[in-house]
Structure 1
Amino acid sequence: MLRHIVCAGLTALVLAVLPAPAAGQAPPLDGAVAVTTGSLRHDSPAFQEEAALDWHCLQAAYPRLRRMEADGQGRLWLHLADGQRVLYAAGQPAPPPRHPHGPEWDVDVRSSMRQLYVPDPERPPTPAGQSPGRRRSYALLQALYGSTARETASRVRRVSFFRQTLLLEESAARALQRVEARLAPLVAARPALRRYLKQSGGFVWRAIAGEQRLSPHAFGIALDLSPRLAPYWRWSALRPHPLQASYPTEIVTAFEAEGFIWGGKWHEYDIMHFEYRPELLCKSRLLLRRQQEAGATPASGPAPSPRP
């Protein structure tokens, strides 16, 4: 439910949504998104609603974000507690990428959240251009996790996953422990799942294979599982790959419930890849909940666990 509030001459939008805070799902808003007219058409109700929903989920996912604020040039910025700011939107959203790699995959925050990531059990088709979450705001990642190998390394810690040790950023590490808690009884009941859970690396300062952009592994927010079973798109001529449909939903569902997206839902698939992007799961679940309340679409995915 959306309601408009007039305050100090500005139109603010507050999104009244889920009552209970949860991982990958935002608690009730503490404040409002201030929006002003400009080249972005901040006065557009559609833009205000999109910005409010994005801010709701960004602030819940990343508590270091303090406010969203417009400048005098029609741009909208995210401000962090340490004084950094990151561009949320500077104009129209970035157009769909024309190539599977390159600079067009590094976008502002609004564009990085614009393509809806649909949680399991849904597995939408992945035609060219359908890769929700693969476009990233590197400015936001660097502000949150560091812009150098030394900075990012200072924010990771060791975490155990089914008796395997890897390095992840602190928030992602805690989320992975909750994933294991969800999966443990399922693996006990169905031991065949264990073959999909052989970790093959978390934090490592490197570029994406075949590209110059940094991998999310460089920020400590991604891990790979069982690469011999779960391939990367550059290793196969299959489009789509059969595992995009048959990969165990129990595993995907457990990761999504704790804020990880799965690379099997991308056209440029990375089936081994799980990436901590709780803002995307928050947004998708809120939109799906709204559609369910309108009688359009059933809710997807399990209830996320309480945030620590």
Structure 2
Amino acid sequence: MMLTLSSGAYSDAQQGIDCLLKAYPGFLSGKDGNTLFLADGHRLPYGSGSQGNFEERLDHADLHDQMSQCYSPGFPVDPPGFNEDPGRMRDERFFKRLYGEDKLAVQRNILQVTWAPTGKSLPFSRVASADQALMRVGKAIAARPELRHLVSSPVGTLKWRTIHGTQRTSSHSFGIAIDFKLPHGLGQYWRWAGCLPGKACAYPERVLEDRGLQDVVKIFEANGFIWGGKWFHFDTIHFEYRPELLVAECTCTSRGQ
């Protein structure tokens, strides 16, 4: 079961703030209570959680929401419960300040990263060492020939756009996510399955059992990426650079989940 931080729990808020500070040391310089100091002198409130149903919270997430669901690295892992989507809530103020306010600003931070399993270049953000993390992932997978076929068809990294069916900015807009055309029916997305927001949806449990995909996911996670296959609104082709959710103190394991 996913642990959700209580909006009134000051100590839990401080834990989330501390994990953000550890994940983005060059961007965040300190804190004062529930306010984060940015290295450029700006301040960003952590907040106390947005109001409304799950979809409304997704639309108006603050940093408290962003850190409110813990991520479970590794395997075995149970299928996620209803609306357990660690990482889908994103405070857009935070991401735009970090990676770029608009398409042109983001583009100035994009480098071409050699994806070792194919030898081809992929555009990815250099901010917060995201490009170096992706490069490490590629090299680790390339060293495992039996895994290369799983990630030999990247189908998207950088693209400034909104998430389908919403006005929310996609993480691909910031150059911090990568999708793959997965073989063997492993590529599953909740909208492709005909699922509706806020409704029960059959999770494709077999994707959690594929040993090769497990190893790929573990390599990504070891380098600061979360996997959309661990979301109730599953997106098994999607990997996203979110080191704040993989700081040891903020994972489900550390919270006793």
How would you bin the TM-score normalised by the shorter chain?
0.7 to 0.9
Q: Give the TM-score, by structure 1 length.
A: 0.69
SS in 1 for 2:202: coil
Deviation at 1:67, TM superposition (A): 1.6
Q: Which amino acid aligns with 1:62?
A: Y
Q: Which amino acid aligns with 2:112?
A: R
**Kept in 2: contact 1:116–1:284 (CA 8 A):** no
Counterpart for residue 54 of structure 2: 98
> Unaligned regions of 5+ residues in structure 1, if any?
1-39, 71-75, 292-296, 298-308
Counterpart for residue 107 of structure 2: 153
Q: What is the CA–CA distance in structure 1 between the aligned matches of 2:53 and 2:219, rounded to whole Å? A: 30
Matched, 1:246 2:209: yes
**Kept in 1: contact 2:125–2:174 (CA 8 A):** yes
Q: What is the CA–CA distance in structure 1 between the aligned matches of 2:228 and 2:251, rounded to whole Å? A: 21
SS in 1 for 2:17: helix
Counterpart for residue 79 of structure 2: 125
**Kept in 2: contact 1:157–1:169 (CA 8 A):** yes
In the alignment, which of 68, 73, 92 is matched to residue 31 of structure 2?
68
**Kept in 1: contact 2:71–2:252 (CA 8 A):** no
Counterpart for residue 280 of structure 1: 245
Q: Which amino acid aligns with 1:109?
A: L
Matched, 1:263 2:228: yes
**Kept in 2: contact 1:233–1:268 (CA 8 A):** yes
In the alignment, which of 5, 11, 15 is matched to residue 53 of structure 1?
15
Counterpart for residue 43 of structure 2: 85
Q: Which amino acid aligns with 2:28?
A: L
Q: Quick one: higher RCO (CA 8 Å, sep 6+), 1 or 2?
A: 2
SS in 1 for 2:161: coil
Aligned length: 236
CA deviations 1:263-285 (Å, max 9, x no partner) are 01111111110000001011456
Q: What is the CA–CA distance in structure 2 between the aligned matches of 1:149 and 1:103, rounded to whole Å? A: 25
Counterpart for residue 173 of structure 1: 131
Matched, 1:205 2:160: yes
CA deviations 1:21-63 (Å, max 9, x no partner) are xxxxxxxxxxxxxxxxxxx76xxxx522x23322332122112
Q: Give the TM-score, by structure 2 length.
A: 0.82
